[in-house]
Chains A and B, each alone.
Chain A
Amino acid sequence: MAYKTIVEDNIDILVCGAGLGGTGAAFEARYWGQDKKIIIAEKANIDRSGAVAQGLYAINCYMGTRWGENNPEDHVRYARIDLMGMVREDLLFDMARHVDSAVHQFEEWGLPLMRDPKTGAYQREGRWQIMIHGESYKPIVAEAAKKSADQVYNRICVTHLLMDESKENRVAGAVGFNVRTGNYHVFKSKAVIVGAGGASMIFKPRSVGEGAGRVWYAPWSSGSAYGLLINAGAKMTQMENRIVLARFKDGYGPVGAYFLHLKTYTQNGLGEEYESKWWPELQEMVGKEYLDPEVSHRTHRPIPTCLRNHAFISEVNAGRGPIHMITMEAFQDPHLEEVGWENFLGMTVGQAVLWAATDVDPKNENPELTTSEPYVMGSHATGCGAWCSGPEDVSPPEYFWGYNRMTSVEGLFGAGDAVGGTPHAFSSGSFTEGRLAAKAACKYIDDGKAQGIRVSDKQINDLKEEIYKPMEHYKVYHNEVVAGSVNPNFINPRQGLDRLQKLMDEYCGGVTVSYMTNEKLLHIGLKKMKVLEEDLEKLAAEDVHELLRAWELKHRLRTAESVFHHTLFRKETRWPGYYYRGDAMKLDDENWHVLTVSRRDPKTGEYTMEKAPCYHLVGKDD
């Protein structure tokens, strides 16, 4: 290959992926490391990359301590009940006590936050959500990151982390390639903050053909937050905690603002309220601690999202679909109608397009809802991600190894989707996690922990060979056949992605099996996954763009494999509505009130699973 090798040496902090987590990291790193060399490597263009590319209509994590609205421990309580007890409360508490300062800065930077005209406080959509005109949210935070970084490398697909050869289990930078020029980029760095994205499209999407990219989470979120970390040998947690979302059918438009602010509600196909009739049966399955509608009514403690999904899925399976969102009442108010439309124009334009295309005006017709395929992510309402150290003043010994948000690999930090056990961080929380990781990374370097890092030319050259292998493979074999994409010696990234999605769907609890799996299915799936990984050694990429898809697929595969192992390990159905273990349908607090932790040995590919204690900081709210 004739691509150039470009080496950026002596970096102090490398930020891989500059969505909300990465931008927060780059911004804050400059304050604590004014003399440090800070570099960003971003797969797309930092101005419109990550999950917030098209904007957001709400900041979903804001305490409002300034207005006397909530304290950090309230948020811990909320996230804990939503995730059926399984969260890292130290990390959540830490994020929650800092998140308001990030939001207040966004407003100073020019992000239009709506205000309640009576109180002067930010306009609430729900207890944790504030409403914004957020179309330009990402360009605004990107400017903050660009002003802090020494250089931003756009269009770099980071494929691997570099490992230090003088000390085991220490990071030394990252490598990747430019998706436009094809050039090989080497970043030698003392510390690395991974702010890459979670995983969309590892499960078969509901749409087909052209619409196969019409998913809820961005199609470019390829699980690099997990692929990079797992391959480096970092411990992971909560990877079984995939999320299924109730969304407007085919548009994947969020329903949160509709429920919370517009006060819309759902009905089954017969025009009936259906959720509550599933509670008695479900209470048998999960226990009263997690589902007590009376307490929920009294304290406004929400019923966990997955359990509401369970009612939705069960009602549809009982033949009483479709489920409708009742918008016709709220939309008679012109102000609420405008809010309803702008909610999507500012962040999910496709929903508005779908309504326009199908002549659905929610003022005159109640739109259909559906449940999505599962996603694997750590910043929205689930907590997949790396097993990270917490802050020194909060975390118990099992959760603390010196540097906040540092993974189990030295010098390797996480933010956003990369950090496990911190659901309900969303955009502002991810930005805040980036800030926390950056301060800790600066301290790690100042403490002399990154001294003597060594990266040999061999490691760099071996990785180069591995990265470009799909293009070499294509060059060698494509002329064996006349033309077309059918070749006995290789598959292309799209074919590989289709295979991964089918496999995950059928064996790991996707849409077509109503989110159901069991031990036997998981074992078969893992076996097929191994064969797929062998075939991915023969993946072929026709050009640099396809090479990007090839590496996205490899990161998705590694993420999916981890999901399989975690789902197999937790022998209970902790989150009915997200997935079901048919052979262990009941929630089992006796054995599983624990966090799951895995590690893949980078040399052998073997997974080791363990249980970690689940610590609680705050009591119940009733």
Chain B
Amino acid sequence: MPTFVYMTRCDGCGHCVDICPSDIMHIDPTYRRAYNIEPNMCWECFSCVKACPHHAIDVRGYADFAPLGHSVRVHRDEERGTIGWKIKFRDGREKNFLSPITTKPWGKHIPKLADVPGPDKTARESQLLFNEPNYIRMDDGDLYTLETAGLKLKEGVYY
């Protein structure tokens, strides 16, 4: 399912070029529009499809095993926090799905660790990570050690 770009919809904004994890969406120097320069390195991850503001990027199944005539379209809506899918089979049947992508507005709920109070010496010397041990059990449960778990090292026994 390598991607391709519809000539009449693409305006060469480069969002797909910016996001492609495989570096295969490039701007064609003649037409000033994006295209997939290396279909056999495409993973059909849909990153470019989701990023395109004009829905100009589509996919078609890999030529070595997928017949023509199908489509899987996607609309990712960050404001509503949803992603919608429309699947069209080769024989015309359709399926639609809608899922949440986040439960909280973007950009506000991830702490900036430079601003939180730094760790003290005890924490540095312990095995704890940020927010632990509270976040392990979301209460005051402590961290596991060999001792608390009642475990001992044994070499080379067969299991």
A residues contacting B by CB (< 8 A) are: 27-28, 30-32, 34, 44-45, 47-50, 53-54, 65-66, 71-73, 80-81, 85, 93-94, 97-98, 100-101, 104-105, 107-112, 133, 135-136, 140, 143-144, 147-148, 155, 179-180, 207-215, 218-220, 250, 289, 338, 341-342, 345-346, 349-350, 352-359, 361, 391, 393-394, 396, 435-436, 439, 443, 446, 545, 548-549, 589, 593-594, 613-618, 620
Shortest beta-carbon distance, A350 to chain B, in Å?
Answer: 4
The digit string for B19-42, where 1 denotes a CB below 8 A from any CB of A, is: 111110010000000000111111
The CA of A159 and the CA of B152, in the complex, are separated in Å by 41
Interface residues of B in 27-80 (CB under 8 A from A): 37-47, 59-72, 74, 76
Residues of A near B91 (CB, < 8 A) are 359
Contact of A31 with B130 at beta-carbon distance under 8 Å, contacts A97-B136, A211-B40 already known? yes
Which of chain A's residues have a CB closer than 8 A to the CB of B99? 133, 135, 342, 345-346
Interface of A, helix, strand, loop or mixed by DSSP:
helix
Known contacts being A85-B159, A209-B40, A354-B1, is A44 close to B153, with CB within 8 Å? no
Query: Do residues B110 and A357 form an inter-chain contact, with CB atoms below 8 A?
Result: no
Residues of A within 8 A of B153 (CB): 396, 615-617
Report A-chain residues with C-beta under 8 Å of the C-beta of B76.
135
Cβ-defined contact, B45 with A110, below 8 A:
no
> In the assembly, what is the distance between CA of A358 and CA of B65, in Å?
9
The answer to whether B97 touches A341, judged by C-beta atoms less than 8 angstroms apart, is yes
Query: Contacts A48-B47, A218-B43, A359-B90: A210 and B63 contacting too (C-beta < 8 A)?
Result: yes
Add 11 more A-B contacts to A107-B103, A110-B102, A147-B110 (CB < 8 A): A45-B19, A53-B43, A65-B141, A73-B149, A110-B109, A148-B114, A215-B43, A345-B97, A613-B156, A616-B155, A616-B156
Q: Which partner residue on chain A sits nearest B112 by CB separation?
A: A147
Of B26, B43, B110, the contact of A144 (CB 8 Å cutoff): B110
CA distance in complex: A25, B32 (Å): 38
The reply to whether B113 and A30 contact each other, CB–CB distance below 8 Å, is yes
Does any Cβ of A come within 8 Å of B135's Cβ?
yes
Report A365 CB to chain B, min CB distance, Å.
12
- A53-B97 in contact given A48-B19, A210-B62 (Cβ < 8 Å): no
Contact digits for B93-132, partner A, Cβ 8 Å, 1 yes 0 no: 1010101111111110111111010110000100101111
- Whether A28 pairs with B129 at a CB distance below 8 angstroms is yes
Q: Which B-chain residue is minimally distant from A613 (CB atoms)?
A: B155
In the A-B complex, the 6 residue pairs with the smallest Cβ-Cβ separation, listed nearest first, are A211-B62, A110-B104, A101-B135, A54-B45, A356-B70, A350-B44
Cβ contact within 8 Å between B62 and A98: no
Q: Which residue of B lies closest to A201 (CB)?
A: B41
Contact residues of B: prevailing secondary structure? loop
Contact yes or no, A97 B144, CB < 8 A? yes
Q: How far is the CA of A394 from the CA of B149 in the complex (A)?
A: 11
**Which among B70, B104, B139, B151 is the interface contact of A353 at CB below 8 angstroms?**
B70
A210-B132 contact, Cβ under 8 Å, with A27-B113, A109-B110, A345-B97 = no
Can you list 17 contacts pairing A with B, beta carbon distance less than 8 Å? Answer: A31-B129, A34-B114, A44-B21, A45-B19, A45-B21, A48-B45, A66-B141, A72-B149, A94-B127, A135-B83, A136-B83, A214-B62, A350-B43, A352-B87, A353-B72, A354-B65, A617-B146
Q: How many residues of B contact A (CB 8 A)?
A: 91
In the bound complex, residues from chain A placing their C-beta under 8 Å from that of B155 are: 396, 613-616
Chain A residues with CB under 8 A of B135: 100-101, 104-105
Q: Inside 8 A of A71's CB, which chain B residues have their CB?
A: 144, 149
Contacts of A356 in B (CB 8 A): 70-72, 87-90
A136 adjacent to B101 (CB under 8 Å) = yes
Measured CB to CB, the nearest residue on chain A to B61 is A357
Contact A32 B124 (CB under 8 A): yes
Known: A97-B136, A614-B156. A357 touches B146 (CB 8 A): no
Are A545 and B26 in contact (CB-based, < 8 A)? yes
Which residues of chain A come closer than 8 Å to B44, judged between CB atoms?
54, 214, 349-350, 353
Q: A97-B144, A345-B97, A614-B155 are in contact. Are A357 and B102 (CB under 8 A)?
A: no
| Distance between Cα atoms of A617 and B41 in the complex (Å) | 43
A66 touches B136 (CB 8 A): yes
When the two chains form their complex, are residues A620 and B90 in contact, meaning their CB atoms are under 8 A apart? no
Cα-based distance from A285 to B97 in the complex (angstroms): 47
Interface centre among A135, A144, A212, A342 (most CB of B within 10 A): A135
Residues on B with beta carbons closer than 8 Å to the beta carbon of A53? 21, 43, 45, 47
The residues of B that contact A613 with a CB separation of less than 8 Å are 155-156
Query: B residues within 8 A CB of A135?
Result: 76, 83, 99, 101
Residue of A nearest to B37 (CB): A545
Cα A212 to Cα B41 in complex, Å, equals: 7
Q: Which one of A54, A208, A593 contacts B47 once the chains associate, using CB atoms below 8 Å?
A: A54
B2 adjacent to chain A (CB < 8 Å)? yes
User: Per a CB cutoff under 8 Å, which of A215, A289, A349 touches B46?
Assistant: A349
Tell me, rounded to whole Å, the shortest Cβ–Cβ distance linking A175 to chain B. Answer: 19
Contact call B41/A179, Cβ cutoff below 8 A = no
- Minimum C-beta distance from A50 to chain B (A): 8
With A and B bound together, what is the CA distance between A554 and B92 in angstroms?
45
Known contacts A65-B141, A98-B129, A135-B101; decide if A213 and B109 are in contact (CB<8 Å): no
- The docked-state distance in angstroms from the alpha carbon of A214 to that of B22 is 13
Q: Please, which residues of chain B bring their CB within 8 A of the CB of A34?
A: 113-114, 118
Q: How far is the CB of B9 from chain A (nearest CB, A)?
A: 20
A136 interface neighbour in B93, B102, B112, Cβ under 8 Å: B102
Across the interface, which residues of B come within 8 angstroms of A148, CB to CB? 112-114
A53-B47, A219-B22, A393-B145 known; A589-B131 Cβ under 8 A? no
Select the residue from A98, A100, A110, A215 with max chain B CB neighbours within 10 A.
Answer: A110
